[in-house]
Amino acid sequence: MERQFYWKSRICYIGPKKWTYYGYANVELMGRISFGTMVYLMFKGELPRPEIGRLMDAVLISMCDFGVLAPSVAATRFAASGRPELPAAICSGLLSLGKAHGATISDAMALFYKGIEQVRSGGKSIEEVAGEIVKEHKSQKRYIPGYGSPSELGADDPNPMVASRIRELAKRAGVPGDYIHLSEAIEATLRTVVINLDGANGAVLCEMGFEPQISEAIFCLSRSLGLAAEAYEEFTREKPFRQIPYQDVTYDGPSERPLPSEYQNEI
């Protein structure tokens, strides 16, 4: 009878003078692959083509930081001003991630996967499906994940520039292309709204075959470095206990009022 183990994992093996990831020796990987290639290996279980590893490096670099304009960075900087341990300040930023920040990539990926499935099963062109996606979202007044930007920079927002670079690198790496094609077709149909970095990276990660949920982890891996640097700068350059300027805060609740009669007596 086969022994039943309490814990099984195919990812990492630690044994007598052995330390491997999916069978590849740690000491052999060190100095031979990039961190982006390692990220691919850890989630997919196989080493990618070198070009794909470099593309993953680009994805990780692209999302590393967005300054205090991003909620995650602002949260980390405020937390760091209270002088917790460094990991706690980093986690404060990570805990701010959600459907409006960070997880948008996974929503964009789900949209692209569904769209290409319609292309392959329904005999429609990518442009037709892109038109249907835009029409459906507009009729329901829904935001299309991966397009537009909440940034106040407007026309000066660097998102489209970085998104364009990611797609350029993906094409240079020779990824299949259907998901990127769909992402571009949606952008062309929208006309006045451009794809943002979440949408561009989402399309690239679809081309690599990642599940949408994994994109949230990849974003966390990338942003954690930026948060660590931001927290360290707050520790070393700024005074403790950062405060929002008093004149930038207003109160819009009830005016000062007396306690009800039943609460007049002290207890």
Tell me which residues of the chain have a pLDDT lower than 50. Answer: none
DSSP 231: H
DSSP 34-64: -HHHHHHHHHHSSPPPHHHHHHHHHHHHHTS
**For residue range 26-48, what is the model confidence (pLDDT) as tens digits?**
999 999 999 999 999 999 999 99
Check residue 254 and give its pLDDT.
98
| pLDDT at site 159 | 80
- For domain 48-241, which architecture applies? Orthogonal Bundle (1.10)
Q: Which of 96, 57, 104 is nearest to 227 (CA)?
A: 96
What's the pTM value of the predicted model, to 2 decimals?
0.92
Looking at 45-158, list the stretches that DSSP marks H as alpha helix, in order from N- to C-terminal side. 50-62, 71-81, 86-94, 104-122, 126-139
pLDDT at 152 (0 to 100): 58
Token pair listed for 239: 């005074």
Q: What's the pLDDT tens digit per position in 232-252?
A: 999 999 999 999 999 999 999
DSSP state of 265: S
Domain boundaries, the chain: 8-47, 48-241
- pLDDT of the residue at 88: 99
Residue type, 59: V
Sequence-distant (6+) residues with CB within 8 A of 190 are 134, 144, 147
Kindly report the backbone phi and psi dihedral angles of residue 19, in degrees, each rounded to the nearest multiple of 5, phi listed first.
Answer: -150, 105
Residues 6+ apart with CB under 8 A from 67: 73
